Structure 1
Amino acid sequence: MKIQGKMFLWLSVFILVMAIIYGLWSKEPAGTTALFLAFGLSVMIGYYLAFTARRVDAGAQDDQEADVADDAGEIGFFSPHSWQPLALGVGGAFAFLAIAIGWWLLYFSAPLILVGLWGWVFEYYRGENRTQ
């Protein structure tokens, strides 16, 4: 993770330089704002990866002498299926559609988003997967 953190932090420096040059040269606020937001997102991802790399063991990608087989094995747990992202996606689509159509559409999208978020967070705390 250490190398990925450095890559994102260097990418953020590049995006910041390009945002400043673009903003001064074009004087166009939307693209300049988008580049500064991309800079912020890149800094957040880079900081998270660099911070996490200090707390976990070094992976095979951080070793110059590592082989591909050194990174083999179990990566982690991934949910086999879940309907909750669909509910969040539909609710989010309705919420963004509310900007174009009318704010009344938020009355339909907010419950979908809340139910999808609640279900996704607690999907392994009920039924056969419940811990006791």
Structure 2
Amino acid sequence: MKIQGKMFMWLSVFVLAMAVVYGVWSKEPAGTTALFLAFGLCIMIGFYLGFTARRVDVGAQDDLDADVADDAGELGFFSPHSWQPLSLAIGGAFAFLAVAVGWWLLYFAFPIVLIGIFGWVFEYYRGENRTQ
């Protein structure tokens, strides 16, 4: 994580320089503001990664002599057959379509999004007192 923190800190320096150059050269407030906000986001992520790197064990990416296999392992559990992302995508599509077509379409999008979120959160929940 240490190297990622340094990368974001260097990226924030670059974005800040580009924000100043862009602001002086173009005198356009929207793009200048967006670049300064991007600078703020880069600095926040860089500080977070640098702070977290001091509190966790050294990873393989921080070791110059590490092999690719040193960072191998389980990445997490990914549901192989979940239909919930499809429900969220359909609900999100209806919600964004509501901006173009009419706000009444949100009445149809909101329940679909809620069903997708509820289904995703409780997809593998089988009850607190469930016995085998």
**TM tier, shorter chain?**
0.7 to 0.9
| Corresponding residue for residue 114 of structure 2 | 114
Where in structure 1 are there 5+ consecutive unaligned residues? none
Return the letter of the residue paired with 1:62: D
| Corresponding residue for residue 35 of structure 1 | 35
Q: Radius of gyration: which is bigger?
A: 2
How many residues in Structure 1 have an aligned counterpart in Structure 2?
130
Coordinate RMSD, CA, aligned: 2.6
**What is the Cα deviation at residue 8 of structure 1?**
2.0
TM-score by length of 1: 0.76
Return the letter of the residue paired with 1:124: Y
**What is the Cα deviation at residue 61 of structure 1?**
0.4
- How far apart are the structure 1 equivalents of 2:34 and 2:8? 17
Q: Percent same amino acid at aligned positions?
A: 78
Do the aligned partners of residues 113 and 39 (structure 1) sit closer, same or farther apart at CA in structure 2, a change above 3 Å counting? farther
Do the aligned partners of residues 49 and 23 (structure 1) sit closer, same or farther apart at CA in structure 2, a change above 3 Å counting? same
Q: Deviations over 1:37-91 (max 9, x none)?
A: 4334434443443344334322100111212221122233222232212222222
**What is the Cα deviation at residue 118 of structure 1?**
1.8
Matches within 5 A, 1:81-100: 81-100=81-100
- How far apart are the structure 2 equivalents of 1:52 and 1:124? 30
For the 8 Å contact 1:95–1:105, the answer to whether it is kept is yes
Q: Deviations over 1:16-54 (max 9, x none)?
A: 332232233223344334434433443444344334433
2:23 corresponds to 1:20: no
Give structure 1 regions of 4+ aligned residues with deviation exceeding 6 angstroms: none
Secondary structure at the counterpart of residue 82 of structure 2: coil
With 28-37 and 111-120 compared, the bigger mean Cα shift is at: 28-37
